[in-house]
Amino acid sequence: MKKILVLTALIFLTIQYSFSQSAKAVFVEAGGPGLFSFNYDTRFSGKENGIGGRVGMGGFYVDGEGAIFIPLTLNYIISKNKKDYFEFGAGATIVPTSSAIDAGPFSQTSGHLNFGYRYQPEKGGLFFRATINPIFGEGLFFPYYGGVSLGYKF
């Protein structure tokens, strides 16, 4: 568990340092590839739109059993008015085996796609996302899975 937290912290710090001039957002997401997760999103181009990435940490814990999810996504966002964006991407949700205690179909690392709407004002402020996230893996396919996110863009 400590290794996972240290690894995630290093990923966040590396992204922050490497892309300090690009648009960034932090948000919580219900649903989506992290089930319930805290996330960091950045653009790699230094612009408001274009290619970027997201890393998060989430999961669940019920009746003494649970799992940790680490969603990693490469995404692309486009807009005509610099506040309403279409977002699409793909990635993987890492589920460390030590954390997946009888979590059923969510006890394995899986892939996901990302299609959705993103509201992110150019000057920063309230950040909102609504996405459809098909999830797939070994013996696992949820085509109509989705998520809603709320956070802050800076």
Looking at residue 28, its pLDDT comes to 97
Looking at residue 6, its pLDDT comes to 57
Q: What is the pLDDT along the chain (154 residues), one digit of tens a residue?
A: 555 555 555 565 555 555 555 678 999 999 999 889 999 999 888 788 899 999 999 987 777 777 889 999 999 999 999 899 999 999 999 888 655 455 555 667 899 999 999 999 988 899 999 999 999 988 889 899 999 999 999 8
What is the count of structural domains for the chain? 1
Q: Which residues contact 77 (CB under 8 A, 6 or more apart)?
A: 43, 49, 50, 52, 85, 86, 87, 118
C-beta of residue 33 within 8 angstroms of C-beta of residue 80: no
Domain holding 95, by residue range, is: 2-153
3-state secondary structure the chain: CHHHHHHHHHHHHHHHHHCCCCCEEEEEEEEHHHCEEEEEEEECCCCCCEEEEEEEEEEEEECCEEEEEEEEEEEEEEECCCCEEEEEEEEEEECCCCCCCCCHHHCCCEEEEEEEEEECCCCCEEEEEEEECCEEECCEEECCCEEEEEEEEC
How many CB atoms are closer than 10 A to CB 12? 16
Looking at residue 100, its pLDDT comes to 47
| Tokens found for residue 16 | 């922050």
Looking at residue 84, its pLDDT comes to 95
Residue 41 is part of a domain; what is its CATH number? 2.40.160.20
